[in-house]
Amino acid sequence: MTTETATIELIGWKAYCDRIREDDPELLRSGLPARFHSRWRVARSFTGLQLDGYRDDTLAGQTSLFRLLLAYSALEQFTKLDPSRKAALGAIADPDLADELRSTLDIEAMTSNENVTGMKGSGKFDDISTTAGLVVFAYALRNIHAHGSATPHGLGVNTARACRAVDALSSKLLSEVEQAFTEYAAQPAQP
């Protein structure tokens, strides 16, 4: 039995691949473009987790945090593909969304030593209480969820409002990456 699904594609992807196949085959062989594209497609296509034995609020929190992990991974891979955009993407800001994240998440739990001890770049977590920068939130949530001891309940990502805020963060990251890729793909090949 086959199921038809809509293909989610990055605008300009095919033309970009055709161009680098001709102009920069070494980049293509490195795997960076394919790795970025794969991470982006998974993040953009992600619709949720299916887990047995979990309460609905826990499942919703896990889904939102996992979606963010995927979106952050796509951003991270794009900055490896085009390091010149790392600073601009790192400066993505939205004061209203940052305020919503601060008001719905447990910031104290996010910045506690238990959750950040030994994590690379953990000093960034201190900025959460004041920043409008969204990558700081994404970095913190991604690291705490993937490597730390926090759970959706411990972070406060178990209410509908908090899940919507984290999902909005994921969507914002992906939209910014898509825009950056469109600009990057439109550039002429470097000699």
Please provide residue 46's backbone torsions phi and psi, each rounded to the nearest 5 degrees: -60, 130
91-131 pLDDT, tens digit per residue, is 899 999 999 998 998 877 777 756 555 555 555 555 666 77
Closest CA to 104 of 155, 140, 150: 155
In a 10 Å sphere around its CB, with 0-12 CB exposed, 13-18 middle and 19+ buried, how is residue 178 labelled?
Answer: middle
Instruction: Answer yes or no: is pLDDT of 5 > 60.
Output: no
Q: For residues 16 and 186, is the Cβ–Cβ distance under 8 A?
A: no
CA atoms of 4 and 2, how far apart (whole Å)? 7
> For the whole model, what pTM was predicted?
0.88
In DSSP notation, 52-101 reads TT--HHHHHHHHHHHHHHHHHHHHHHHHHH-GGGHHHHHT-B-HHHHHHH
Mean per-residue pLDDT, 50-76? 95
151-172 pLDDT, tens digit per residue, is 888 888 888 999 999 999 999 9
The pLDDT, as a whole number, for residue 110 is 74
Name residue 120's beta-bridge partners: none
The pLDDT, as a whole number, for residue 124 is 58
Q: For residues 80 and 36, is the Cβ–Cβ distance under 8 A?
A: yes
In the chain, count H helices and then E strands: 11, 0
- Residue extents of the structural domains in the chain: 13-186
